[in-house]
Structure 1
Amino acid sequence: MKNKSHTAEIIPFNPLDKKNLGASVAEALVSQPAHPLGAITSFFGAGIYAIYYHGDHAAYGPISKPNQVDTTSPSIPIYVGKAVPQGARKGKIMPDPTRSKALFSRLQEHAESIQATETLSIDDFTCRYLVVDEIWIPLGESLMIAKFSPLWNLIVEGFGNHDPGAGRYNGLRPRWDTLHPGRAWALKCKERSESEAEIACEVRNHLANTVLPETPHFVGRHDL
């Protein structure tokens, strides 16, 4: 009986495919220079960003050590986010992005959150940011999160939270604020059942069972 030959299916590359368009945005972000998070100068624009940690917190060793090799060119982000102009999320007429400081303001908020903690130093953080036309922001952010599974996006949630305001402190304190106490508004929220030590242990276990990307880049896009 003759063996049947199987011809491998070749899928032509489509530069306009949604994932490829998103990958081009993500690649542009990871190709940007890294800046100290605590020393960013004011700029205009909305877009996406990645925050990197290279300090000595015991729970973050597997991601901080690769970043310590060259702190000017970190590879594994601890958090990825986006910033859109005020009013964009409510479906209003899109403000002129060139007059918005949404991205700068968001990074400033994050720097202040870190500076408020008792367990982190702002000097141990760098960031990359990319001003992007608003239509491409969600694509770039989602691919960055899918590739790197940043700890503060998926395991230690709450870093990007805002003060819920008076009368809304009945919710649980974010996991991020339990592991890194210091933000005044978070201290007003209800304590979680997990302790700081338990969350740190969960982080270590997660990292011990996580395969980090071999490259921070999206060239080739075989993992999409």
Structure 2
Amino acid sequence: MFVSPLGKEVFNPLDKTHLAESVKDHLLKRPVTKLPPDRFRGAGIYAIYYTGPFSAYQQIVRIAPNDENATPIYVGKAVPPGSRKGGYGLGADPKDVLFRRLSEHAASIGSAPSLKLSDFHCRYLLVDDIWIPLGESLLIERFKPVWNICVDGFGHHDQGKARRGQMKSAWDTLHPGRSWAEKVEQPNNKTVEEISAVIMSYLATRAVI
């Protein structure tokens, strides 16, 4: 948007915010599927939904995942090779990078006895490389998912000894089970009860715009 001499806003269809909104809107129209979905190729963005009984998350399970207004518990992206090394990855073969990312998340959830993988679903959208980060950012801004904003650690990878001297993430404290996370030496500075209380307070007060 920019303001004309008459003081009226002029719509710019190529404004990055509008382009990102288009990506977000297309994702929310995609069907909800199991986590992980069947194997496919491509890069893009995704949203993960929870429908289970874990008490701290009950505020977000009231709307079925197939409703566009349902609140995901986590959103993310998977970019083509090269994008994480400072390049854009433009034109690179993404292979099955988005499927593999969703499969990693499924493995993390499946390793936690406090969660059931069958209580999770996802929707995903294959996106041209350059729009992937914008789409993810707008999804986070729109839904403020609890595992993106309030509880850190779900998207972490095993970094071997480099991570073992760090503090255990809130996610791995609340949902222990990942073998590599169990080797992290320093406990989180909050207990399970304190993390749960933070989540419930956050979900009760946050505004979804």
Do the two structures share a fold, i.e. TM-score over 0.5? yes
| Letter in structure 1 aligned against 2:11 | F
Counterpart for residue 12 of structure 2: 14
Counterpart for residue 71 of structure 2: 76
Matched, 1:31 2:26: no
Distance in 2, matches of 1:132 and 1:93, equals 13
Shift of residue 72 of structure 1?
3.8
CA distance 1:96–1:13, change in 2 (3 Å): closer
- Which SS does the other structure have where 1:141 is aligned? helix
| Letter in structure 2 aligned against 1:188 | K
> Aligned residue pairs: how many?
202
Deviates more, 1:124-133 or 1:98-107: 98-107
Aligned to 1:209, which of 180, 205, 208? 205
| Letter in structure 1 aligned against 2:141 | A
Q: Structure 1, residues 8-62: CA drift from partner, whole Å, max 9, x if none?
A: 9431221111100110011111110010114x11111011101011111100111
| Letter in structure 2 aligned against 1:176 | W
Shift of residue 86 of structure 1?
2.4
Matched, 1:43 2:79: no
Contact preservation (8 Å) 1:47, 1:137: yes
Distance in 2, matches of 1:46 and 1:122, equals 23
Shift of residue 98 of structure 1?
4.7
CA distance 1:93–1:180, change in 2 (3 Å): closer
Contact preservation (8 Å) 1:118, 1:182: yes
CA distance 1:206–1:137, change in 2 (3 Å): same
Counterpart for residue 138 of structure 1: 133
Moved segments of 4+, more than 6 Å: none
Counterpart for residue 5 of structure 1: none
| Letter in structure 2 aligned against 1:145 | I
Shift of residue 77 of structure 1?
0.6
Shift of residue 198 of structure 1?
0.6
Aligned to 2:83, which of 70, 83, 88? 88
CA distance 1:141–1:167, change in 2 (3 Å): closer
| Letter in structure 1 aligned against 2:111 | A
Counterpart for residue 152 of structure 2: 157
- Which SS does the other structure have where 2:74 is aligned? strand
Shift of residue 168 of structure 1?
3.4
Q: Any stretches of 5+ residues in structure 1 without a counterpart?
A: 1-7, 214-224
CA distance 1:57–1:116, change in 2 (3 Å): same
Distance in 2, matches of 1:167 and 1:89, equals 19
RMSD: 1.8
Shift of residue 94 of structure 1?
3.0
